[in-house]
Structure 1
Amino acid sequence: MRPTRISALAAGCLVLCLSTVRAEDDISLLTGPKTGTYIAIGRDIAQVGKEAGLNVEVKPSGGSVDNIKRINSKENAAMGIVQSDVLGFLRRSKSESTRVMAAHLRMIMPLYAEEVHVLARNNIHSFKELEGKRVVVGEDGSGHMLTAVNLLSMTGVTPAETIRKSPPEGVLALLDGQADAVFIVGGKPVKLFKNLESLQGEQDARYQQQLHDVHFLPLDDPRMLEEYQPGELTHADYAFVSEPVHTITARAVLMTYDFSTPGKNHYRRCHLGYALTQALVMHMDWLKAHGHAKWREVSPEAELPLWQKDFCAWHQLPPKHFAERHARRTEKKHSRRAAAQSTASAPMPRDLRTSIKDR
């Protein structure tokens, strides 16, 4: 179902916002893997944007870290969906350029909770027992890897080996005995773990014992709660979980770069950020009713630790500001062109023409 047309009052507001939007003002939104929740949320955003007259190009990516890198590159990407803990991760970097990059990141709005799942062998009972073990942390640039490195760092746990594999490959490595634990971050129920429920069927009897040999590790170290919120995994989430398991949650964040500095070439995106944000707020009830189920957890104006709200998204700049700025640019361009044409067509002084002719 398409979102209903926005009300006359809301439409009037957006008409002013969009009066200076041009074809080159498409908004690129970086999400995640092609089968994940991020890209599904991104498609919902694009659908709302389309109803508001905005063209949002949804792009798959390698995850949170990849999105941050691409937004800070020459790629024409204005927004991305990332895990909330990416900011603390970047701020703790030893690289000054990385810390500077983190200082320019802004939150448009928090989205939904993402539970941290650590599936481990049954002989591992606590997070600290990952010391000296083989741990799958996810692929480079992924949010899984970011959270794994974050948690291992803040608790001082050092695995014997950190293995870079995708979530499906990581789970298979664990079940086959090639790894001792795997980190996966995602809003419950994660489809990959729901698929494990089928392993309990008779047709997959060979996998039943492997599934019985692993469990979700409780994440209850107080240090983790300095940057994460408490969460829980239950039988209602996954059929193979018999007792509730304490875990922690990060939060998906719709974020952008700080485009609010006047005089910069990207300043125009400030205007577009406001237009899209207002369209999302106006359609929030529709998104919760007809979009991805995770929209039901979204409170657009909520705050998050460490994250600074994006000025552009929540403060309307008068459209005439952009129109006047565009007019000044156009006038200067025309003036330079006219001056160049005048110089080219102006008759040369007689003596100079004669001098050239004589030569």
Structure 2
Amino acid sequence: MRTGLFIALIAAAWLGGQVQDSFAQKRPSASPSESTKVSPRKEGTPKKETGRPADPFTVGFVTGSPQCTEFAIAQDIATTLASGQETGPHGQVALRVLPIVGDGGVRNVLDVLTLAGADVAISPVVLVDRLRETRTFGDISDRLTYIAPLHIEEFHLLARAEIGSLTELSGKRVNLGDDGSAGAILGREVLNRLGVKIMESNLGPEAALDGLRKGDLSAALLVSGKPLSFLTQVSQLDGIHLLPIPYFKELLQQDYLPSTFRHKDYPNLIAAEASVDTIAIKSALFAYNWPSGNERFRLLEFFVQTLFTRFPEFLGDAHHPKWREVNLAAQLPGWRRFRPAERWLQQQSGGEAALRKAFGRFIEGKPTADLPDREELFRDFLRWRERNPAK
């Protein structure tokens, strides 16, 4: 894992240096009257690099910071797909996936639009929709495509013990994450909609946690899928807790979803019978829309076929629980799916019906009383399928 993280960080430094960050402007505060825009200015249409050839066997996968769940998902894909491949005489493999550290927000999209070695990215759907609508990077409708919707990303608002509600953050210093990240853009927007005026900071996760402990910050926002392994180092003994974010339907319904943290998500932060309400956004796996004759198109086609075929492997206990939220066949309104992904799903259209029948046969043998929760039952079902592949 450390080796993979090191490689990803080196890749990010090399690739990230090729473009300027278009969202580097800082905003010291967020107020209800402030316009909630994705970008402070409209950029010229960025061009995809063609001068330096990328590795023809490596898919560049832009994700979030190393502390986030989305980086873990990319690393999960890289590790799983690397196994089980035939190798050449010198250990070559036909497909490698290289996680590239991004900001989980606008930079992810910009990297896919511009960097020769950046092919796919996990990004919040609402941010990519906004970039298309505002034409911040020109018309991206034909330059981006999606492979599949993924999981939801929750808003984790960590606060010091003396902060008891969201409204108490008014006038306080709150970290929203690196400027241009999902936390900075969407956190600013949510606070605007809810009428909470803050003093904004734009620090990374480690620096933000240190600032919370020292009292330099009153709260810090992390937008990432639960459970976030980074938060295992935080407990109520640090004088830090998860602050509820109320879901006001009339203010947030269009772009946000309600969600809840429970003890099983963060046993170090939430008591056994307690829960913390929050909000969430949808994420998806986007890809550069390479021309069909391009070698990168063929590489992405192989990546999709491999990922989709081996998808059941990601549903087991050894992988992040967010995988169990993913429905590969779900659609993303307003966007075109990568053509090889669409073809694969069409060819497998009978597979879901067959799986449902198999699941029905599995639960027929279960007693009606004291059924385990859905997650535990699904794990049992996967193990049963392994033992009974013909049923």
Instruction: Give the secondary structure class of the aligned counterpart of 1:171.
Output: helix
- Partners of 1:295 and 1:272 lie apart in 2 by 23
- 1:33–1:218 CA distance, 2 compared to 1 (3 A): closer
Q: Deviation at 1:79?
A: 0.8
> Which runs of no fewer than 5 residues in structure 2 stay unpaired?
1-53, 86-93, 345-391
Given that 1:118 and 1:216 are in contact with CA atoms closer than 8 Å, whether structure 2 keeps it comes out as yes
Equivalent position amino acid for 2:179 in 1: D
**Match for residue 307 of structure 2?**
280
**Match for residue 241 of structure 1?**
270
Q: Which of residues 172, 175, 181 is equivalent to 1:133?
A: 172
- Partners of 2:103 and 2:196 lie apart in 1 by 25
**Match for residue 165 of structure 1?**
203
Given that 1:259 and 1:312 are in contact with CA atoms closer than 8 Å, whether structure 2 keeps it comes out as no
Equivalent position amino acid for 2:98 in 1: E
Q: Deviation at 1:256?
A: 0.8
Q: Deviation at 1:108?
A: 0.8
Given that 1:85 and 1:147 are in contact with CA atoms closer than 8 Å, whether structure 2 keeps it comes out as no
Instruction: Give the secondary structure class of the aligned counterpart of 1:118.
Output: strand
- 1:40–1:118 CA distance, 2 compared to 1 (3 A): closer
- Partners of 1:30 and 1:99 lie apart in 2 by 21
Q: Deviation at 1:183?
A: 0.8
Instruction: Give the secondary structure class of the aligned counterpart of 1:85.
Output: helix
Q: Which moved more, 1:108-117 or 1:296-305?
A: 296-305
Given that 1:274 and 1:315 are in contact with CA atoms closer than 8 Å, whether structure 2 keeps it comes out as no
Q: Which of residues 124, 141, 166 is equivalent to 1:83?
A: 124
Q: Deviation at 1:315?
A: 3.3
Kindly provide the CA deviation profile for residues 46-66 of structure 1, in whole angstroms up to 9, marking residues without a partner as x: 345445632323323333322
Identity of aligned residues (%): 27
Q: Which of residues 64, 67, 78 is equivalent to 1:46?
A: 78
Q: Which of residues 139, 152, 169 is equivalent to 1:100?
A: 139
**Match for residue 218 of structure 1?**
245
Equivalent position amino acid for 1:258 in 2: N
Q: Which of residues 213, 238, 256 is equivalent to 1:228?
A: 256
- 1:132–1:307 CA distance, 2 compared to 1 (3 A): farther
Instruction: Give the secondary structure class of the aligned counterpart of 1:168.
Output: helix
TM-score, structure 2 as length reference: 0.62
Q: Which of residues 180, 183, 188 is equivalent to 2:218?
A: 180
Given that 1:134 and 1:159 are in contact with CA atoms closer than 8 Å, whether structure 2 keeps it comes out as no
RCO higher in structure (CA 8 A, sep ≥6) = 1
Instruction: Give the secondary structure class of the aligned counterpart of 2:145.
Output: strand
Given that 2:160 and 2:219 are in contact with CA atoms closer than 8 Å, whether structure 1 keeps it comes out as yes
Q: Which of residues 156, 159, 164 is equivalent to 1:120?
A: 159
Q: Highest Rg: 1 or 2?
A: 1
Q: Is 1:148 aligned to 2:176, yes or no?
A: no
Q: Which of residues 148, 173, 192 is equivalent to 2:230?
A: 192
Kindly provide the CA deviation profile for residues 129-162 of structure 1, in whole angstroms up to 9, marking residues without a partner as x: 5443322110124332233133234x16463421
Q: Deviation at 1:41?
A: 2.1
- Partners of 2:307 and 2:149 lie apart in 1 by 12
Equivalent position amino acid for 1:117 in 2: H
> Which runs of no fewer than 5 residues in structure 1 stay unpaired?
1-21, 201-206, 317-359
Equivalent position amino acid for 2:248 in 1: D
- 1:64–1:312 CA distance, 2 compared to 1 (3 A): farther
Q: Which of residues 110, 113, 124 is equivalent to 2:149?
A: 110
**Match for residue 320 of structure 1?**
none
Instruction: Give the secondary structure class of the aligned counterpart of 2:114.
Output: coil
Given that 1:168 and 1:192 are in contact with CA atoms closer than 8 Å, whether structure 2 keeps it comes out as no
Equivalent position amino acid for 2:119 in 1: A
- Partners of 1:157 and 1:101 lie apart in 2 by 32
Equivalent position amino acid for 2:191 in 1: L
- Partners of 2:188 and 2:69 lie apart in 1 by 22
- Partners of 2:171 and 2:334 lie apart in 1 by 32
Q: Which of residues 59, 65, 69 is equivalent to 2:100?
A: 59
- 1:152–1:257 CA distance, 2 compared to 1 (3 A): farther
**Match for residue 28 of structure 1?**
60
Given that 1:64 and 1:141 are in contact with CA atoms closer than 8 Å, whether structure 2 keeps it comes out as yes
Given that 1:87 and 1:102 are in contact with CA atoms closer than 8 Å, whether structure 2 keeps it comes out as no
Q: Deviation at 1:285?
A: 1.2
Q: Deviation at 1:185?
A: 1.3
Given that 2:155 and 2:221 are in contact with CA atoms closer than 8 Å, whether structure 1 keeps it comes out as yes
- The structure with more helix, counted as a fraction of residues: 1
Equivalent position amino acid for 2:270 in 1: V
